[in-house]
Amino acid sequence: MATFVLVHGSWAGGWNWARLRPLLTAAGHRVLTPTLSGLGDRGHLAGPDIGLSTHIEDISRLLDWEDLTEVVLVGHSYGGMVVTGVLGRVPERLARVVYLDAFRPEPGQAAFDILPELPGLFGEPPAEHPWGWPPVDLAILGIVEPADRDWMARKCTPMPVLTHREPLPSPQKQADVPITYLRGAAVPFFAETADKAEADGATVTSWPDAAHYLHVHHAARTAELLLGLEEATA
């Protein structure tokens, strides 16, 4: 039995893995889908102090409190910022890190440094919650099916501003953990990130027909890839 910890992206929560999680569980594995502070079912904690360091702490503490080792740590989109930070904190608890069409920052980089077009896309936070951005138009991210749009729109919550402005801290520990990067090439946000990951020695797979939400639109294929990685790691 492997342990998968799935870290969601912007505006989302643990709910965003609803299609992928049961496929991994059915294969006999333990799957944790935490919601980051200030989002989803933890949205009541949102505020100006919630940033990238908060979310790195969220996941690092989860691994510690649950006594998890040999974890396959998966990050989608903004979740890639978080899992990179966790990798620098507790690499001894990880068997592999998987980036699903995600940020993969260097120390000192914020999300806005990697994709400088994002501030214009996000716009200004509204006066009623100046600490957070409302969700962008989901169609930009490849969510075009009405049922998917309704599901996402009902559950997405504002994204704390500090998450994308706070830079990745320097790693506390040296890490020698295998890296896999899965790119959804139909939405070209992370082409350069995937290329750099490959140059750094990561195993990179690109799905030309897949948009940004791989685990939503291609849950079975994503599960197959993750289960194959688990077998290779074992």
In this predicted model, what pLDDT tens digit does every residue of 100-143 receive, in sequence order? 999 999 999 999 999 999 999 898 899 988 999 999 988 988 89
Q: What is the pLDDT of residue 187?
A: 86
Those residues of the chain that have pLDDT short of 50 are none
Under DSSP, the state recorded for 167 is P
* Nearest C-alpha neighbor of 77 from the set 187, 224, 170: 187
Q: What is the pLDDT of residue 49?
A: 97
For CA atoms 13, 18, 19, 20, the dihedral sign is: positive
Q: What is the pLDDT of residue 175?
A: 82
Q: What is the pLDDT of residue 207?
A: 96
Q: What is the pLDDT of residue 170?
A: 96
* φ, ψ for residue 59, nearest 5 deg: -75, -40
Q: Are residues 56 and 43 in contact, defined by beta-carbon separation less than 8 angstroms?
A: no
What whole-number distance in Å separates Cα of residue 69 and Cα of residue 158? 32
Write down the pTM of the prediction: 0.96
Q: What is the pLDDT of residue 234?
A: 55
Determine what percent of the chain is predicted with pLDDT higher than 70.
98
The residues that are catalytic are: 77
Q: Helix (H, G, I), strand (E, B), or coil: what is residue 79? A: helix
Under DSSP, the state recorded for 159 is E
